[in-house]
Amino acid sequence: MNAKNGMLFVVAAPSGAGKTSLLKELSKKNNRVIISISHTTRKPRDGEIEGEDYFFVDEKSFKKLIEENHFLEHARVFGNHYGTSHSFVESQIQTGKKIILEIDWQGMQKIKAKGVEIIGIFILPPDYITLEERLINRQKDSSTTIKQRMDAALDEISHYKEFDFIVVNDKFDETVAKLNEIISDPKTDHNRRNSSHDDFISKIMAQRD
């Protein structure tokens, strides 16, 4: 991939950290930002729009897309398949856009393994309780799925060291500003992962018990 002007970012977060709303706001504020739209075999949630939130496809079509080499990466998450379109990313990078992939840590690893340059940003909830409350308040998933997502959230958090930047989503507007600063100047040291995040994350993990 020839990232002449544009850049590729992964923004990952445990479910319930507020990632989707943050990125929607960021793309309104910065017109160079493009959020990649993945394909998924998951059923649409209430309010989700085809071609805006995801391209919703069935298992058979997803398999066909894999065979046609359509994906830069794809993974199975919570029993559903998700994939990032290679041609979409490539064409946007050529136009100098900042492409944000809303994918998980597995996806980022697969892209890095292909030798593609990508900057990882990890969004954290301010504490464990907030994470739990946001997941429950969402009420778009069954309680079994919420429990599954809570376990997966902690698992996702355990991969924070693989990311270049850590942003704690405490105050919405400030978090959007931090994300904008990182994508506008990826050489910035602000919010770059450092040893202070180790203590913060240990505290979140400890709140589980």
Contact partners, residue 24, CB within 8 Å, separation at least 6: 35
Contact partners, residue 143, CB within 8 Å, separation at least 6: none
Chain residue at closest Cβ approach to ligand 5GP = 107
Count of residues that bind ligand 5GP according to CB under 6 A:
14
Question: Which of 22, 100, 103, 150 is the binder for ligand 5GP (CB under 6 A)?
Answer: 103
Is residue 169 within the footprint of ligand 5GP (CB under 6 A)?
no
Question: Which of 6, 15, 175, 176 is the binder for ligand 5GP (CB under 6 A)?
Answer: 15
Phi then psi for residue 5, to 5 deg, are -115, -35
Binding mask 39-78 for ligand 5GP (x = CB under 6 A): ---x------------------------------x-x-x-
DSSP-assigned letters across all residues of 91-148: HHHHTT-EEEE---HHHHHHHHHTT---EEEEEE-SSHHHHHHHHHHH--S-HHHHHH
Chain residues that interact with ligand 5GP, rule: CB under 6 A: 15, 38, 42, 73, 75, 77, 82-84, 102-104, 106-107
